[in-house]
Amino acid sequence: MKIWVVPMALTTMMLAACSPRVALEAPKEPITINLNVKIEHEIRVKVDKDLDALFDKESGLF
């Protein structure tokens, strides 16, 4: 039985030496994102005063 101990130990060590290594590491340089974005918006609100007055008087329309 002692004859099998040495080859089994060597086989186990060889298999352990070939095991893959998985590592999760942060990058050494910071991540930079360059975006060239131009956002323009224009909001226009026009209220016809006559129409606004009509809605105030006739509140039962809607």
Mean pLDDT of all residues in 44-60: 70
Q: Percentage of residues in the chain with pLDDT exceeding 70?
A: 73
pTM: 0.26
Model confidence over 1-31: pLDDT tens digits? Answer: 567 777 777 777 777 666 677 788 888 899 8
Quote the domain boundaries for residue 24. Answer: 1-58
| Number of domain units in the chain | 1
Residue 53 to residue 59: CA distance in whole angstroms? 10
Yes or no: say if 43 and 49 are a contact pair by the CB < 8 Å rule: no
Nearest one of 37, 36, 13 to 5, comparing CA atoms:
13
Number of CB atoms found within 10 A of residue 36's CB: 4
